[in-house]
Amino acid sequence: MMSLKVMTANGLLDGEVLYLTDRSTWSPWFDDAVAVCGQAAEQQLESAAAAAVRDRLVVGPYLLPVTAEGDRLLPISQRGCSGPWPG
């Protein structure tokens, strides 16, 4: 069974926790994160995050496992989930 993941990183200038959206932008809101499933989709998020690192927008990107409950995403771990929390 494949797991859902979102891409998270910290803003370069302020260290704020950010999430990659379906528009390839970064948002401080967990609910804006795009969730993917599967290696090919994960690689797309990793490529977008690598470009943001090169552009000096974010640092330390990584894939965060999430779970779906109804139409909501919830992080499996609290690591990387400070800031505006889903609720």
The answer to whether position 84 is within a domain reads no
Q: Domain containing 46: what range? A: 4-75
Contact 19, 31 (CB under 8 A): no
| Nearest to 23, CA basis, from 4, 3, 45 | 45
The answer to whether position 42 is within a domain reads yes
- Choice between 20 and 83, residue whose per-residue pLDDT is larger: 20
How many domains does the chain divide into?
A: 1
Residues 3-57 have pLDDT tens digits of 899 999 999 999 999 999 999 999 999 999 999 999 999 999 999 999 999 999 9
